[in-house]
Chain A
Amino acid sequence: MTPETSSPIKAKPPVAQIEQELEQKAFKLSEWMAQQGIFLFTAVLVLFALVFIDGFASLPNLTDVFNRAAPIGIVAAGMTFVVISGNYLDLSVVAQVATAAVVLIAVTNAVGLVPAILFAILIALVYGIVNGIAVGVFKANAVIVTLSTTFIGLGILRWLTGGSIYFGDSDGPIRTFGTTRIGPLPLAMILFIVVTLLLSLVLTRTNFGFMVRAYGSNREATRLAGVNTPLVVIGAFTMSALGAMLGGFVLAAFSNTAVSAMSTGYDFRALAAIIVGGTSVFGGRGSVMRTLLGVVFVSVLTNIMVLSGLGFGFQQMAIGLLIVLAVSVDALARKTRVS
Chain B
Amino acid sequence: MATIELDNITKMFGKHVAVDGLSLAVPSGSVYGFIGPNGSGKTTTLRMIMNILYPDTGRIRIFGETLTPLLCDRIGYMPEERGLYRRMKVRELLLFLGRLKNGKDITTHVDRWLQRLDLTAWANKKVETLSKGMGQKVQFIATVVSHPELVLLDEPFTGLDPVNTEVIKDAILELQAQGTTVIFSTHDMSMAERMCDFIFMIFKGRKVLDGTLASIQDQYATDTIRIRTRDGAAVLRDLAGVERLKDYGQVQELRLGPNGDPHAILRTIVERTRVESFDIVKPSLHDIFIRIAGAEAQEVEHA
* A and B form one complex: no
Residue numbers of B with Cβ under 8 A of A are none
Residue numbers of A with Cβ under 8 A of B are none
